[in-house]
């Protein structure tokens, strides 16, 4: 009898020792944080470049919406901008070369006439004291000299003005117009770019929600992606275990199908109990509270897991 009691006590101690060193195992499941890809524009789905279940790389084309009206708007914006820039260039140049040459010819003729009139007036002024010319002739030559001189000044001013550009306020208004048209052009190009969407990630095409030819509303989800870095594990542990875990703690994940083990690290520990049965809080009831834990495997191991797949999570004692 005494020998049997000793054997029972030894077995209990042995099992107790094994339990303290064995890893603790909890049930969990894989979950995916999907990237829902849509367009800021609406329109008919012109081309779907991916299929469900395909693996794609970053910058791969996903889909393209029809953009005929947007292309026409872009071409109109380009034409309007080119016309406005040509007008500004014309404003800054002043008169055309042909117009300037006409004024220069008129000025040359006026200078010659003014010089002749000045010499005639000078000669008449010298002859008037000797009564060789009349007072009327003297006055007429003086008037002609003054008028031709004034004509020269007028044409010189006209030539200077012709070489000037438009008024500063006109040039500024045209520059503002060009800035506005550039914004219109940029927006037109942006709308076209938004009609065709590329992937930002290396990912699994988890689902496609539209077929080619169907109308897609603004913001409608067309492709659902699952990047490997967005696959995580969720499992639940008692309060005592949750309090002992820390962010970054390594865990071991066993896939139930093939038993392959995957290493992951804890990224989230729920601050609140996920399941609280209708019990009175006490020290005895704490073990009935469960806390959700999230962990991410490495990017290389993540594709081995699938959303909803059950797994077993092992916490190693240290």
Q: How confident is the model at residue 4 (pLDDT cuts 50, 70, 90)?
A: very low
Residue 316 in contact with residue 253, Cβ under 8 Å?
no
pLDDT digit string (tens) for 76-126? 999 999 999 998 887 777 666 777 788 788 888 888 888 888 888 888 888
CATH class given for the domain over 35-68+189-226: mainly beta
pLDDT band at 21 (very low <50, low <70, confident <90, very high): very low
pTM here is: 0.63
| Domain 25-33+229-315 CATH class label | mainly beta
176: pLDDT strictly greater than 90: yes
Q: Point out the least confidently predicted range of 22-26, 61-65, 197-201.
A: 22-26
Query: Over the stretch 66-84, which tens digit does the pLDDT of each residue have?
Result: 999 999 999 999 999 999 9
Cα-flanking dihedrals φ and ψ of residue 59, to 5°?
75, 5
What is the SS3 assignment for 132? coil
Residue 92: what pLDDT?
Answer: 76
- Rounded Cα–Cα distance for residues 206 and 300 (Å): 18
The pLDDT value recorded for residue 232 is 95
Instruction: Kindly list the domain boundaries of the chain, sorted by start residue.
Output: 25-33+229-315, 35-68+189-226, 73-188
In this model, does residue 132 exceed pLDDT 60? Answer: yes
């Amino acid at each position: 009898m005494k020998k049997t009691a000793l054997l029972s006590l030894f077995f209990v101690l042995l099992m107790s020792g094994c339990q303290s060193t064995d890893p603790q195992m909890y049930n969990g499941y894989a979950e995916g944080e999907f990237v829902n890809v849509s367009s800021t524009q609406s329109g008919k789905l012109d081309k779907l470049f991916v299929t469900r279940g395909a693996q794609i790389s970053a910058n791969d084309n996903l889909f393209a919406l029809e953009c005929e009206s947007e292309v026409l708007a872009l071409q109109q914006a380009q034409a309007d901008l080119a016309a406005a820039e040509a007008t500004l260039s014309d404003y800054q140049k002043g008169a055309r070369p042909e117009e300037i040459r006409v004024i220069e010819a008129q000025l040359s003729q006026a200078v010659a006439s003014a010089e002749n009139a000045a010499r005639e007036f000078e000669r008449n002024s010298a002859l008037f004291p000797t009564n060789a010319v009349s007072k009327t002739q003297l006055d007429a030559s003086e008037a002609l000299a003054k008028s031709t001189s004034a004509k020269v000044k007028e044409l010189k001013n006209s030539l200077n003005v012709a070489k000037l550009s438009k008024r500063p306020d006109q040039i500024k208004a045209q520059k503002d117009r060009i800035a506005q048209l550039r914004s219109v052009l940029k927006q037109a190009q942006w709308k076209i770019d938004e009609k065709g969407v590329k992937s930002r990630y290396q990912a699994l095409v988890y689902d496609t929600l539209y077929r080619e030819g169907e109308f897609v509303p603004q913001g409608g989800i067309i492709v659902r992606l699952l990047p490997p870095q967005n696959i995580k594990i969720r499992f639940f542990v008692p309060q005592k275990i949750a309090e002992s875990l820390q962010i970054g703690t390594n865990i071991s994940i066993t896939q139930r199908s093939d038993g392959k083990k995957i290493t992951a690290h804890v990224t989230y520990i729920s601050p609140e109990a996920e399941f609280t049965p209708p019990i009175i809080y006490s020290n005895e009831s704490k073990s009935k509270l469960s806390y959700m834990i999230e962990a991410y495997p490495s990017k290389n191991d993540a594709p081995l897991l699938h959303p909803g797949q059950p797994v077993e999570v092992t916490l190693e004692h240290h």
